[in-house]
Homo-oligomer: A and B are copies of this chain.
């Protein structure tokens, strides 16, 4: 489908200032620059104006105006995305939710909180600590709740607590034509009509703009433990993952680091690891004995699968130290590759296909004589390949390899993206992954956004 868009004019600026207020629209270069980049390798966006609405009604009015005038609108959280998800590709407006960042209500007895979309999840959790509750999805960076929901962000604790889509109950959403709708319910259970909530979560701002969300919260775990172990092969590590999950131990994190990156962390970050596939796990419990029992079970599983350097701890300081390996892994990579940029891939497969996927990556990486590091959320079958490159020529090579890996993941029954979303970077894989279902997605897009003004050029391999 193709749409005709109009360029953003001074008259549009005047009309939109009347909606959001004179101070809340900018066409200054510095503001545009900030909103035309995310944390990815992808080309800069070309937004022509940045708007900061302060209410849902303003968001709706902006959309209605832009829809009437065929001006693209690309919602903006804080720009921690990795697939250019919030970068304007067809000009128009970057709609920042930065000034809609309030906690509206804590429903402590319901284990829920209602927030505006612009609040960062770390900021939210800092505020929620006093209630002994937290919002579990954690993509690493301090992404906004709106951005996390729009992209269905996940992170390391998804294996126990689910992704963003599993932790939201209700949203208020502004549609392209300026209607404001409520989707979902504060009732945990709902079987009432079509699940528009989950249709909108993960739609990357192409179907509507989230103006409010009620999130599920869980009690902050009282006790935690951690395990780290080196395995003789990826297959053995995956068997450990399956055994741990099958034993009902309900891990809160189950992370994989490949042999090459483990060696690098040993040599350059002072971590006691071998050059072998490594698993890092976390468990939560309410009873110390349950934690000890779980660790003993995990140790047995690891030993039976030939693991070495198995370390377990229930001590908080020691656990934090073990996890530092994971948290600083990317920084260590960056530090050891001065002058390089990283392409970070994100695919996911059924866990049984993890060894096949990793074997394939190792094979093509060797074939092309390039460097690549892998780590992933093994509990979910999600893996990130990190490819350093230093110029356009090298980028072209790693992008080609990236495409091969995505294709392989889809062939193995997996997906082009586990948690980073489609944006522009994965759009060309959508026909392969979804087949005829992509046409159904297009039909829904046309129904909700007939003029295609909402974040055009994302998800679909054309203007959408």
A335 to B107, CA, bound (A): 41
Do A183 and B444 contact each other (CB < 8 Å), given the known contacts A132-B246, A189-B348?
Answer: no
Write out the residue numbers on chain B whose beta carbons fall within 8 Å of the beta carbon of A444. 194, 199, 444, 447
Are A437 and B190 in contact, with the CB atoms below 8 A? no
Interface residues of A in 244-297 (CB under 8 A from B): 245-249, 284-287, 289-290, 293-294, 297
A391 within 8 A of partner (CB): no
Total interface residues in chain A, CB < 8 Å: 94
- Interface stretch, picked from A12-20, A31-39, A312-320, A408-416, is A408-416
A294 to B284, CA, bound (A): 15
Are B352 and A248 in contact, with the CB atoms below 8 A? no
Write out the residue numbers on chain B whose beta carbons fall within 8 Å of the beta carbon of A199. 194-196, 198-199, 444
CB distance from A300 to the nearest CB of B (A): 13
User: Which residue from B192, B380, B438, B446 sits with its C-beta under 8 Å from A426?
Assistant: B192
Are A187 and B349 in contact, with the CB atoms below 8 A? yes
A206 to B153, CA, bound (A): 30
A211 to B430, CA, bound (A): 23
6 A–B contacts from the bound complex (CB under 8 Å): A109-B242, A181-B435, A188-B380, A191-B417, A192-B422, A446-B447
User: Which residue from B158, B186, B189, B194 sits with its C-beta under 8 Å from A189?
Assistant: B158
Write out the residue numbers on chain B whose beta carbons fall within 8 Å of the beta carbon of A438. 193
Q: Nearest residue in B to A413 (C-beta to C-beta)?
A: B186
User: Which residue from B202, B248, B290, B293 sits with its C-beta under 8 Å from A195?
Assistant: B202
Most-contacted residue by chain B among A111, A222, A377, A409 (CB, 10 A)? A111
Are A441 and B194 in contact, with the CB atoms below 8 A? yes
Are B414 and A186 in contact, with the CB atoms below 8 A? yes
Most-contacted residue by chain B among A165, A186, A286, A446 (CB, 10 A)? A186
Are B248 and A286 in contact, with the CB atoms below 8 A? yes
Are B185 and A413 in contact, with the CB atoms below 8 A? yes
Write out the residue numbers on chain B whose beta carbons fall within 8 Å of the beta carbon of A361. none
Write out the residue numbers on chain B whose beta carbons fall within 8 Å of the beta carbon of A287. 287, 289-290, 293-294
CB distance from A175 to the nearest CB of B (A): 7
Write out the residue numbers on chain B whose beta carbons fall within 8 Å of the beta carbon of A435. 181-182
Write out the residue numbers on chain B whose beta carbons fall within 8 Å of the beta carbon of A225. none
Are A437 and B183 in contact, with the CB atoms below 8 A? yes
**Contact flags (1/0) for A186-223 with B, using CB distance below 8 Å?**
11111111111011011100010000000000110110
A310 within 8 A of partner (CB): no
Q: Nearest residue in B to A351 (C-beta to C-beta)?
A: B110
Binding site for B on A (CB under 8 A): 107, 109-112, 132, 151-154, 158, 163, 165-166, 175, 179-183, 185-196, 198-199, 201-203, 207, 218-219, 221-222, 242, 245-249, 284-287, 289-290, 293-294, 297, 348-352, 377, 380-382, 409, 413-422, 426, 430, 433-438, 440-441, 443-448, 459
Q: Nearest residue in B to A241 (C-beta to C-beta)?
A: B109
Are B381 and A182 in contact, with the CB atoms below 8 A? no
Are B202 and A191 in contact, with the CB atoms below 8 A? yes
A348 to B417, CA, bound (A): 34
Q: Which 3 A-B pairs have the closest CB atoms?
A: A198-B198, A189-B418, A290-B290
Are A440 and B181 in contact, with the CB atoms below 8 A? yes
Do A417 and B109 contact each other (CB < 8 Å), given the known contacts A166-B166, A187-B350, A435-B182?
Answer: no
Most-contacted residue by chain B among A153, A185, A382 (CB, 10 A)? A185
Write out the residue numbers on chain B whose beta carbons fall within 8 Å of the beta carbon of A420. 191
Are B196 and A219 in contact, with the CB atoms below 8 A? no
Are A437 and B182 in contact, with the CB atoms below 8 A? yes
Are B107 and A350 in contact, with the CB atoms below 8 A? yes
Write out the residue numbers on chain B whose beta carbons fall within 8 Å of the beta carbon of A382. 187-189
User: Which residue from B202, B290, B297, B351 sits with its C-beta under 8 Å from A289?
Assistant: B290
Q: Nearest residue in B to A110 (C-beta to C-beta)?
A: B350
User: Which residue from B186, B348, B417 sits with its C-beta under 8 Å from A350?
Assistant: B186
Most-contacted residue by chain B among A152, A165, A246 (CB, 10 A)? A246
Are B192 and A352 in contact, with the CB atoms below 8 A? no
A186 to B153, CA, bound (A): 18
Q: Nearest residue in B to A421 (C-beta to C-beta)?
A: B191
Write out the residue numbers on chain B whose beta carbons fall within 8 Å of the beta carbon of A440. 175, 181, 196, 447-448
